[in-house]
Structure 1
Amino acid sequence: MLNRVVLVGRLTRDPDLRYTPNGVAVANFTIAVNRPFSNQQGEREADFINCVIWRRPAENLANFMKKGSMIGVDGRIQTRSFDGQDGKRVFITEVVADSVQFLETRGNAPQGQGGGQGSSGYRPNQNQNQNQPNNNDYNRPNEEDPFRDNGEPIDISDDDLPF
């Protein structure tokens, strides 16, 4: 059996971040997803899909995404029910997101609306470690590049190939 959902759309409002009594973050949000066809009047319609995401990704979504931001959602469909105030059974179907990708930078967001931090999603405060030395190998000059092309064939046997 398979229950998988992949959506790309824009937030219809700012995510609603809340915390459970145990301190677990949960964000509810709705995304508008365009349909791949036009109606009889030639207009494109959209579906408005309710979603929920938990824990740290919920906090990241609420902190970095705003109404109008384009996001990608990967998750599953879930249906739950409860008794309403009038005593009737209420059914809710929503997407429980496993991950949310931020699909545009702030500069690419629609005018007057917030945006994301790029497709990688969450990015911590970049000024946080500003005074610490950076010891990453990729920031050093390229002294010994093992992938540099010398123009010579390499010696590799078929047994070394993974396929």
Structure 2
Amino acid sequence: MAVETITTGNLVADAEVRFTPNGKQVTELRIGATYSRKDKQTGQWQDEGEPVFITAAFWGDGHEHLHNLKKGTRVTVSGPLKVRTYQTQNGEDRTSLELIFPRFLGAIPKGDQQPTYQAPAGGQAQDPWANQNAPF
């Protein structure tokens, strides 16, 4: 059984687009998130605990709308969470968190950036409520 998660955080680097040796496209987002809560006394948000870094790799075509996402952009993604352990070139054991088969749920640009999301080619954005009338 998989641990399904929804993560909202900031990109710690620009979206990375690369290709495998057999030509398959991979768009990778590296996301940093820290649990925070609003202090009732001051009204300020305070970080609680250490930051968590998650990698979401989107395989294949159809993710072109992610290519222009920049460092600092707040994104929301979801998917099954996987813990991967590996060894560095120096022999140190490391652990990383990855979303497998992630879904991109949205982005809010940092500062004065313009929104970068565009509907996939081929017509309207896939909004299931777009052509629905109000039930009253």
Q: Aligned match of 1:71 in 60, 68, 75?
A: 75
Cα deviation, residue 75, structure 1: 0.9
Partner of 2:121: 124
Q: Give the SS at the match of 1:60.
A: helix
Gaps of 5+ in 2: 124-130
In the alignment, structure 1 residue 23 sits paired with structure 2 residue 20: no
Cα deviation, residue 11, structure 1: 1.9
The structure with the largest alpha-carbon Rg is 1
User: Is 41-50 or 2-11 further displaced after alignment?
Assistant: 41-50
TM-score, with structure 1 as normaliser: 0.55
Whole-angstrom CA distance in 1 between matches of 2:14 and 2:76? 15
Whole-angstrom CA distance in 2 between matches of 1:76 and 1:94? 8
Equivalent residue letter for 1:86: N
Question: Alignment RMSD, CA only?
Answer: 3.3
Partner of 1:62: 67
Cα deviation, residue 74, structure 1: 1.0
Report which of the two has the higher share of helix: 1
Whole-angstrom CA distance in 2 between matches of 1:57 and 1:36? 33
- Structure-2 change in CA distance of 1:58 and 1:36 (3 Å): same
Which one has more relative contact order, counting CA pairs under 8 Å at least 6 apart?
2
Q: Give the SS at the match of 1:100.
A: strand
Whole-angstrom CA distance in 2 between matches of 1:98 and 1:45? 26
Whole-angstrom CA distance in 2 between matches of 1:19 and 1:11? 21
Q: Contact (CA 8 Å) 1:51, 1:94: kept in 2 or not? A: yes
Gaps of 5+ in 1: 127-137, 139-146, 148-163
**Count of residue pairs the alignment pairs up:** 119
Q: Contact (CA 8 Å) 1:29, 1:51: kept in 2 or not? A: yes
Whole-angstrom CA distance in 2 between matches of 1:50 and 1:85? 21
1:26-41 map, 5 Å: 26-37=26-37
Q: Aligned match of 1:49 in 36, 53, 71?
A: 53
Percentage identity across paired residues of the two chains: 21
